[in-house]
Structure 1
């Protein structure tokens, strides 16, 4: 039993009405045939597989039909049967492949035979395929014949590159440019062929076939023929088409696009790893990702693009694309598509395509590091989407703390501690040089604040009425807003903020519950027992406007979604210069008392008018060591024991490191020795 012919041969059109996607060519030809206004030479040009040679054969059949002049061949006469699909052919219709017969000798042979009259038909028709392969000498040999042929002779040139046909030949022909077949029309044609073949095909597989055929009817039918040969009882499925044609499955593309929308780098690079582990080509994945981003850009501009046919996708996939496009902004999508397009160009001929693919993904994930216009617009898109999700811009996190909130530790006055005694008039030691940083703010009056069991909490804002009590946010939306929620917990309790930035991430969300996954059981227990779930609930109300019940689970694969920022440097308070001797005592085991949360505020620096004049270095050294006050005589030094008894309990040993006078003054006072005056 013989195998059937290929699909593109079994379904080759026999009339102009059967030719699809070329109405701009077939209709004028049908009118010319019906009116008997046929030219002696034609030039059919266009991409491969779009119907040039087929249309040339139909034109030859119509010219030699016994019913001519007629728009379409009858299919009943001897000439029509000879030139029909599967027919023996006609001796008066000669097809020449110019790729192998394009020399000057072949042109001379054609010219000699062309003057003989047709054997059985009205016209002798020469169909010269791949006409751009004819040499210049061959065209010159045919030029006179094409310009002034005998009445029984007709020429039809078919080529994919009409510019390579010399101008003198083109000027003597009627030029008909063929085009690629539109995808929507080609999809309908494939569905009809599958019905005629008795094989079912999934609608999701049709776009893959059309894409593989690239608008060429012959190439598309060849791909369909291959899939029909390998189809099982269920017919041509999407899995069969994507696997056989090598395209990236939609599930992977959906996963990576959702990860880009949520800024989830772990999920993005996980998809890249899947691509490599499954043996897929990174270049093909990048090309498919670019095509997906292109679809999202169009949907972002035209939301009903899938329904109107602007994008040729199945109905369910169109809904997914609309949902994905809503998670991005137009500028962010355009920037991502530009990055992927540039990376795809760089991947051609690259020896490490996976490395380039990972770099492309890293650039897409980091619009904050892109200082170009596209990067700024991408960040604005994120802010606008966040405002659209929450109902109002989530700038409450960056707002200053209310007046009733507790002040930072370094600014709170001392609690349950005696007020420092007023220092005596300091003796002149050295002229401290003002620091180059910003000036010290004016001193505030010191007041004793009674110790309270818990600082008063700022009044909580009311949740947004549109979403209070319920959540319409997806997991991707919550992960996008999670950094703001974590930052809001920092304003309420720092321990909760540390737990969230180091051990937790969002693993699930529904209308009433927000589930956090912790990397270990100890971190989860500490979080729950410390009352942190309530802190997170209040922060979510402030930022999102949704009242969630916060639940926790142990997720060994969990990692912090938000890296903790480095703690701000605590400025060292400015201490006044005192004439009293510094008590000699051992350094405490812990940090100095003035660095604790309940330390007293820094005492004000003396005004500039009261700064002492420079004195001798020797007097300054002795004053610091406690042997005598600066500027005093040799016999006027105070008693060391009395000085120790009278020293303030928080005073530190100024020279515990035995640095010496000049270094010690620079370290403790920021002073600079201007001039040393010897003692007299």
Structure 2
């Protein structure tokens, strides 16, 4: 009867699989999935193929670029035996053999991972050195993975040195650190070092797009670009932000949007930043402060606004020098930067950079961040109305009227340079022009020696006489003769004579610069400034070439 009523154990409800964060779920399982480290993978591949495997490796780089993942992949590559159990070390571990699966699951008895942050004493290292004497139990190599190795004590490092330099043939050491400068040189010299570089933002954005496709989540390309930029080259940081963005987007809606990412991270809206920058350049103080306050009321950190202004000025400067555009930029932002780059001069951009950088640091330290940001913007607006220092010096030197203060955009374009005289022959018109021709033709060292040490006695092409009162090497004369022949197409006579000669070009420039400085000190504008500020001094003034 008891047997008849025995219905067995009741069925247990299946437990849902515990959620794994994206950073763990999409940890690289093969070297082909390790993004951004192609040079290191190629080196390891060649080393394994040629059986030139080092006994110790050191992986260094910023957080989240794959140091520990790389160490585990190396452990799999060295211990893989293939699906048939007959394979050897390979750069493409099979992932199905027992060593590969055990290492991936963190349960292989011969692959020992140690966190040096919590096991940094000499006793911990003594355990390693003692255990390393014994052969591996089931693997080809016994592998020690030491994470954050820079946290080890000095005594622990010293205890590890001998074993690290001459380990048994069956032992490999894989060290990882984010602060390689704290690792003793004696340890570095015993390891094959790999510097894992930051992963480019566009590569991270493409990687995140692939992850979202597997997760069944849609996202705007601009949102992925924002996450990749916030990750600062770290795949793990980016996946953590992406995990947060998925949760922030919720179950309804159109997926991950750029606006939701900005709100989540407290990033400044790029369109709003452009509005603030436009107001600053136009000298519109109320407009700039209103734009800043709107972002602040919307939850944006004032320091983020200053960072956005710095990025904008930097981007405009890069456009001005002709670099390729950022693919993550919107068409609107690219057009705005190109327009500003065409209207703003380098001095204005450099001045804005310094002002915003100073404001960023002040906001970071201020007890009243929004007030500090407002004062930084007002300071930039006031400075934007000042004339360009180089333009001011040229006008003072030439006697032209001083410009009236105005917005930065009004003083952005420098005055046109006077047309250069046309050379009537291949011979330089005078000695300074000859030195300029030598410099332009690539004879930089020769031109520098003549500028600082050449005292002219006579210049009558094709004859050049220099003073011998200041030592000039004989090879300089022969080098100069050959260079002038290449420039003019005829043979020159270059010689030293025992005469004093004229001052060198450098000496003449210094005299002219001092005269210009004294003239500048006597100008009405500077005199008025010194009278208003008695303790002021003229420390920085235009380049000598612009006023000579």
TM range (shorter): 0.5 to 0.7
Q: 1:220 aligned to 2:238?
A: yes
Distance 2:336 2:343 in 1: 11
> Contact 2:391 / 2:414 at 8 angstroms: preserved in 1?
no
Q: Is the 8 A contact 1:94 1:127 kept in 2?
A: yes
Q: 1:18 aligns with which of 15, 27, 33?
A: 33
Match of 2:378 among 347, 350, 362: 362
What is the Cα deviation at residue 256 of structure 1?
Answer: 0.9
Shift of 1:8: 1.3
Q: CA deviation at 1:277?
A: 3.0
Whether the 8 Å contact between 1:203 and 1:314 is mirrored in structure 2 is: no
Do structure 1's residue 92 and structure 2's residue 107 form an aligned pair?
Answer: no
Of 305, 316, 327, the match for 2:324: 305
Question: Within 1, Cα distance between the matches of 2:203 and 2:72?
Answer: 23
Deviations 1:580-604 (A, max 9, x none): xxxxxxxxxxxxxxxxxxxxxxxxx
Q: Tell whether the 8 Å contact from 1:368 to 1:375 is kept in structure 2 after alignment.
A: no
CA distance in 1, matches of 2:68, 2:361: 35
String of CA shifts for 1:142-173, please: whole Å, max 9, x gaps.
11211211111110111111222222221111
Asked if 1:6 is matched to 2:10, the reply is no
Indicate whether 1:175 and 2:193 are aligned: yes
Residue 323 of structure 1 deviates from its aligned partner by: 3.6
Q: Does 1:48 align with 2:67?
A: no
Counterparts of 1:23-42 in structure 2, within 5 Å, are 23-42=38-57
Could you say which residue in structure 1 is the equivalent of 2:151?
A: 133
Distance, in Å, in 2 between the alignment partners of 1:367 and 1:349 is 22
Alignment equivalent of 2:334, drawn from 299, 310, 318? 318
- Show the counterpart of 1:340: 356
On the 8 A contact 2:57/2:194 being kept in 1, the answer is yes
Helix, strand or coil: the match of 1:366? helix
1 CA distance for matches of 2:391 and 2:285? 18
Which of the numbers 134, 137, 143 marks the counterpart of 1:116? Answer: 134
The residue number in structure 1 matching 2:228 is 210
Task: Give how far 1:53 is off.
Answer: 0.6
Give the distance between the partners of 2:119 and 2:391, measured in 1 at CA.
57
Tell me: CA distance 1:369–1:241, structure 2 relative to 1, closer, same or farther (3 Å).
closer
Assess, with a 3 A threshold, how the Cα gap between structure 1 residues 279 and 188 changes in structure 2: closer, same or farther: closer
Alignment partner of 1:286 is 2:302: no
TM-fit CA distance, 1:372: 7.0
Residues 329-385 of structure 1, C-alpha deviation per residue, up to 9 Å, x if partnerless? Answer: 333222112110012122232122223222221222224664773795997974466
Q: Which residue of 2 aligns with 1:328?
A: 344
Alignment of 1:226-237 (within 5 A): 226-231=244-249, 232-237=252-257
Kindly provide the CA deviation profile for residues 13-62 of structure 1, in whole angstroms up to 9, marking residues without a partner as x.
12212111111211101111122110111111111111111111011101
Distance 1:106 1:367 in 2: 60
1:429-462 Cα deviation digits (max 9, x unpaired)? xxxxxxxxxxxxxxxxxxxxxxxxxxxxxxxxxx
C-alpha displacement at 1:318, in angstroms? 2.3
Q: How far off is 1:6 after superposition?
A: 1.0
* Rounded Cα–Cα distance in structure 2 between residues aligned with 1:368 and 1:270: 18
* Separation of aligned partners in 2, 1:164 and 1:240: 40
* Structure 1: tracts of 5 or more residues without a match: 389-680
Q: Which has the larger radius of gyration?
A: 1
Q: Which secondary structure state, in structure 2, belongs to the residue aligned with residue 347 of structure 1? A: helix
Report the counterpart of residue 369 of structure 2 in structure 1: 353
The answer as to 2:162 corresponding to 1:144 is yes
Instruction: Say if 1:65 and 1:79, in contact at 8 Å, map to a contact too.
Output: yes
Q: Is 1:160 the counterpart of 2:160 in the alignment?
A: no
* Residues 20, 181 of structure 1: 8 Å contact kept: yes
Name the CA distance, whole Å, in 2 between partners of 1:17 and 1:335.
46
Deviations 1:285-331 (A, max 9, x none): 111221122112212222x632xx3x642344323433444453333
C-alpha contact 1:335 1:375 (8 A) present in aligned 2? no
**Structure 1 pair 385–112 and aligned structure 2 pair: CA distance change class (3 A):** closer
Please, what is the CA RMSD of the aligned residues?
2.5
Q: 1:208 and 1:349 mapped to 2: Cα distance?
A: 26
Looking at structure 2, the residues matched to 131 and 342 of structure 1 have their Cα atoms a distance apart, in angstroms, of 37
Partner of 2:466: none
Tell me the secondary structure at the aligned position of residue 74 of structure 1.
coil
Match of 1:76 in 2: 96
> Is the 1:331–1:381 contact (alpha carbons within 8 Å) kept by the matching residues of 2?
no
**Normalising by structure 1, what TM-score?**
0.53
- For 1:130 and 1:71, how far apart are their aligned partners in 2? 25
Q: Indicate the larger mover: 29-38 or 323-332.
A: 323-332
CA distance in 1, matches of 2:141, 2:414: 75
1:419 maps to what in 2?
none
CA distance in 2, matches of 1:114, 1:242: 51
State the Cα distance separating 1:72 from its structure 2 match: 1.7
1:171, 1:110 → 2: CA distance?
20
- Residues 299, 369 of structure 1: CA spacing in aligned structure 2 closer, same or farther, 3 A cutoff? closer
Q: Are the aligned partners of 2:54 and 2:192 in contact in 1 as well (CA < 8 Å)?
A: yes
Check whether the contact 2:345–2:412 (CA below 8 A) recurs between aligned residues. yes
Cα distance between partner residues in 2 of 1:265 and 1:283: 19
CA 170–297 in structure 1, closer or farther in 2 if over 3 Å, else same: same
Following the alignment from structure 2 to structure 1, what is the Cα–Cα distance between the partners of residues 300 and 224? Answer: 21
Whole-angstrom distance in 1 between the partners of 2:99 and 2:73: 11
Q: Could you tell me whether the CA contact under 8 Å between 1:98 and 1:133 is conserved in 2?
A: yes
1:188 to 206, 217, 222: 206
Whole-angstrom CA distance in 2 between matches of 1:368 and 1:212: 30
Q: In structure 2, what is the equivalent of residue 240 of structure 1?
A: 260
